[in-house]
Structure 1
Amino acid sequence: MRRRYLEFMSMGLLLAPIFPLGAQNSPLKLVQTIPMPNVQGRLDHFGVDVKSKRVFVAALGDNQNTVEVLDLTSVKRVATIPGQSKPQGIFYSAEFNKLFVANGTDGTCKIFRADDFKLIDNLPAGTDADHVGYDPATKYLYVGVGDAKSGALWVLDTRTNKHVGDIKTDARPGGIKIEQSGGPRIFVTLAGSTKLGVVDRKKRTQVTTWPVPGTGASVALALDESHHRLFAGVRNPPSLIVLDTESGKQITQLEGVSGIDDLWYDAGRRRIYASGGRGFDTGFVYVYQQKDSDHYELESKVATAPGAGTSLWAPEFGRLYVAAPATEKQPAAVLVFEPQK
């Protein structure tokens, strides 16, 4: 009888949900799970519609190639936008009610109406169109294109859907972070490079590069303008690098999450969220606390799900959304975390 009981308990553990409910006293707590049944393959970046409380998820699996639309009020998927070609970067324009999707395989920026998701335009952007960044002052969308040998920021006017220029970079730019406090700079990662790129968007040129010594290529960035700090996420070795945006000098280096894909700065709590798990059996969000501009502490490692690399920090909602791809045991889902302190 005891053997049968243990077998039953073991089976129950195998069938139990893999998504954690958040440890006691954790800085992040899982408060919702939004399932995406039948979505297969890797998940990439998010877009957000704050007014209508929707998030958009790039599903770039070889047999998937969709953008999934999730309603945060009803906590469910409400639409699927097919016809993508390795969707990666996503931007939603509330002002013009458009959804912009950078597609890597065909190198396009596809533009959809955000009410019925009808295709408006399909513009050639460049090789492996990936990360996007938006400048609300000019209404320009910047799309990173290229490879490890050469790249550019492809610039689109979101008002007119017109391509207005290109800014050449040493390699494909990613992790695009744009100064919002009056400065002209855009900070980017450079594919395959141990350096970060600094672009002047007014002069439309890459003005310098900053070395990140002792690490591999950076893949994600976050920006704290008030303290003049740039955060870079590195996969090899897993590291979080803090740099001074005035000098480009490294301030400190901390343990990083394996398989990092996204990095966010929570200005209200002075925290950094680093989501990783791409290619790993377990995913995590590493939570760092900013003590002051020069001192940081790894506060917690919050378990998520296998392969859950990409995420979105939405300060308007005070929540972190993590994309969890499908496994043999669980359908694809978006995990919704809420800061607890």
Structure 2
Amino acid sequence: MSPTAKAPAAPPPLPGWRRRRALAAWLFALPFSVLFALFMVGPLVASLGMSFTDMTGRDLRNPFSVDVVGLANFAELFSDAKFLRAVVNTAYFVGVGVPLTVVVSLLIAMALNNGITRFRTLFRVGFYTPVVTSIVAIAVVWKYILEPGGLLNQGLAAVGISGPDWLHDTSFAMPSLILMAMWRNMGTLMIVFLAGLQGVPAEVYEAARVDGAGAFQRFRKLTLPLMRPTILLGCVLISVYYFQFFEEAFVMTGGGPLDSTLSITYFTYNEFGYGNYGYASAASYVLAIAIALVTLVQFRLLRPKD
């Protein structure tokens, strides 16, 4: 054969080969697809349909006898003072908690990446341990700490300060929950940000240092721009979690005092407990829309610049 001669073309696939391969792939995926449809897609579609009806607990025996009310549930939600209070509380929790958690986590990640060399692994484990600990157990411990006679007020009393009733004062209840949520969740973002920082080439910082850039300039001009995708990921992850905060208020304050820690998820939980299934489903989809809108805004603001 001549050196310039082309190799013979591969024979075409056998008839039906692609179809058999696709069929085999679907057969392997079928168990997961069935389970996903039954336990994820099915309930989602059912709850969406339920939000447009007046379904209550009395209709469980005959669910197809409910009346379709259209957007009436959504309109009623935005005239419900308790729901509007839950919206404000959730916005407060997210608006304060997310930036605070992101900033503290980024500072800790930078310290672990640059400043702390001894016992670095111990610090990482220590900061991440609350993430893998039961939220109920954590809430019970923090409730004990923040009680009027708890450890925090005892420590303040030792230096002559009379501490407030942290969980039963409308001025301190929500900040207390935000502080606890930040302490528990900063370990997650610390790991995410630490991975992002370790992906930045050391030569970039060395070149900036040679050019005379100070620590703050390197942080503002190099670290933040290069970390934008990682910060975006962290903001989205923590925002979705904070929008759904429930266990903290459920265990520590019961939504009080005076509904000052009532969240949208807590409101939805109560309405389901009262048997107002259509109304509660509408509230849950308002929350889902809010999460989607905030996520879009975050992508718009934090996406990498061209």
Larger Rg belongs to: 2
Identify which of structures 1 and 2 has the higher relative contact order when contacts are C-alpha pairs closer than 8 Å and 6+ apart: 2
Same fold at TM > 0.5: no
TM-score by length of 2: 0.22
As a proportion of its length, which structure holds more strand? Answer: 1
